[in-house]
Structure 1
Amino acid sequence: MTKNTGKEFMEKTKYKYMRKTDQQKELPQPPLELAYDKGEGLIELPSVDNIKVKEIDLREAIESRKSLRKYSNKPLTMEELSYLLWCTQGVKGITSRPTTLRNVPSAGARHSFETYLLINRVNGLKPGIYRYLAIEHKLLEVNTEPDIAEKITYSCHEQIFVKNSAVTFIWSTVIYRMKWRYGERGYRYVHLDAGHVCQNLYLAAQSIDCGVCAIAAFDDDEINKLLGLDGEEQFVVYLATVGKSVTLK
């Protein structure tokens, strides 16, 4: 890594270097969600209105939050997965701009993330990679090759808890959604947004007896390739493993 790259990034993305953005040029904004084949079979997720989770005090959730890398073999239910997706990227509404209103904040309500899931143990789902369609609150199957969990784990520098998790969340950005409004400074904001999303996952997981571990150490090129992303206009920003907490005896 070139010395002072980070320092240069922070300097060159200061507001004083901002140029006229594509939004200011009145160019059309990018779609709120990546396109997909409407003919593909989509997987319905349970409605969040009917999902029951245990009540947990907010202070207790915040103070007891910690990263967990060892999980039990108990799978998540579809209801639990639906709940976690809703808490992290669920769409509450679409405004006339249009923008999506979600359960996490995002700079300018740009919400540049697409959520991919490495499913290892979720009742009712084959192991593999899926994409969450946030507006529809449905899943789209992407890759169910038998060795995909091994490949994703390898791309995360062989952190074994990736394939031992019940599910690993993988957040990629469609960077033009952010750059359209903020130009090059938008690269700062997607990393801030990633923190908002992952913290919601940490807190929500505690109400379903799960633990989470955020991951920022991964081979960018390799994991982008595995997800079919070009690494420039779309690329992985952050990951987090989720699994049922191990009961101490």
Structure 2
Amino acid sequence: MNKGIGQEFLEKTKYQHLHVSDQEKGIKQPPLEQEYNRNQNVIDLPSPRGLEVENINLVEAIEKRNSLRKYSDKAITLEELSYLLWCTQGVKKVVSRPATLRNVPSAGARHAFETYLLINNVEGLKPGLYKFLAIDHKLIEVSLDNHIDESITSACLNQIMVKKSAITFIWAADVYRMKWRYQERAYRYLFLDAGHVCQNLYLAAEGIESGVCAIAAYDDDAINDILGLDGEEEFVIYIAALGKK
């Protein structure tokens, strides 16, 4: 049987096919987080530790977790958004390697994701596209275009929960942050890391009476274009809509 692209990917990302990495060559590692335009509007987020979350044990959260596609009209608070970002990409510590230690596992602590947010219904925030600055725990405005929700929904193959959500999380991979250490095998780790992040969102949402629907069906080129990503060195890897039950 002829090997398909998926099988070829698994074969060529095996350890025996790897060469000397840029880390092993002594090449300086990429930044822990992407630079941003300092002229963009920066929004302070409240401390995620100040939110009173429903006392729900881990087993209960796991058992209650399911994909929710229909949401109430109740807004997410800024404190709840801060908490969700902390649970999914929050930086606990920057260590001297240098590396960030976060609330999700990542291969080699590379943490190669940048988090974008389609904000539809969050108290204190204008609807639009934002980006999370994980190290400083802040947001920046990316686009407040009146039709950004429609554009992103269209790129998500018109799955209506994207437009009806309070927030849609869009995780983009900064590939070299992972490839610097792991070469072509990095792509495997990126997809594994995406699963860790999204599962944390599902579980964290249970504590604030919210639900999540993970989205893997989207037009890669369209969503990358909206976010200004080249689709090769940076690309959207996973999306998840969230709203109140």
**Equivalent residue for 1:162?**
162
Deviations 1:142-166 (A, max 9, x none): 0110000000000011001100000
**Equivalent residue for 1:131?**
131
**Equivalent residue for 1:16?**
16
**Equivalent residue for 1:103?**
103
Alpha-carbon distance in 1 for matches of 2:41, 2:177: 27
Alpha-carbon distance in 2 for matches of 1:81, 1:116: 13
Alpha-carbon distance in 2 for matches of 1:44, 1:216: 30
**Shift of residue 52, structure 1, vs aligned partner:** 1.4
Alpha-carbon distance in 2 for matches of 1:34, 1:220: 21
Aligned-partner SS, 2:207: helix
Deviations 1:104-144 (A, max 9, x none): 00000000000000000000001110000000000000011
Alpha-carbon distance in 1 for matches of 2:6, 2:153: 27
Bigger CA drift: 10-19 or 44-53?
44-53
**Shift of residue 69, structure 1, vs aligned partner:** 0.2
**Equivalent residue for 2:225?**
225
Alpha-carbon distance in 2 for matches of 1:162, 1:228: 19
> Superposition pairs for residues 40-55 of structure 1, below 5 Å?
40-55=40-55
Bigger CA drift: 127-136 or 51-60?
51-60
AA in 2 matched with 1:174: D
AA in 2 matched with 1:72: S
Q: Does 1:215 align with 2:215?
A: yes
Aligned-partner SS, 1:237: strand
**Shift of residue 63, structure 1, vs aligned partner:** 1.1
Alpha-carbon distance in 2 for matches of 1:119, 1:152: 11
Aligned-partner SS, 2:19: coil
Alpha-carbon distance in 2 for matches of 1:97, 1:225: 33
Instruction: Provide the identity percentage.
Output: 65
Aligned-partner SS, 1:180: helix
Alpha-carbon distance in 1 for matches of 2:241, 2:35: 26
Aligned-partner SS, 1:153: helix
Q: Does 1:57 align with 2:60?
A: no
The size of the alignment, in residue pairs, is 244
**Shift of residue 50, structure 1, vs aligned partner:** 1.4
TM-score normalised to structure 2 length: 0.98
Alpha-carbon distance in 1 for matches of 2:38, 2:52: 31
Alpha-carbon distance in 1 for matches of 2:186, 2:111: 11
**Shift of residue 54, structure 1, vs aligned partner:** 1.1
**Equivalent residue for 1:30?**
30
**Equivalent residue for 2:150?**
150
Aligned-partner SS, 1:151: helix
AA in 2 matched with 1:26: G
Aligned-partner SS, 2:237: strand
AA in 2 matched with 1:42: V
Alpha-carbon distance in 2 for matches of 1:134, 1:18: 31
Alpha-carbon distance in 1 for matches of 2:229, 2:118: 15
- Point out where structure 2 has 5 or more consecutive residues left out of the alignment: none
Alpha-carbon distance in 1 for matches of 2:66, 2:215: 13
Moved over 6 A (4+): none
Deviations 1:38-90 (A, max 9, x none): 23321010112212111101100011110000000111000000000000000
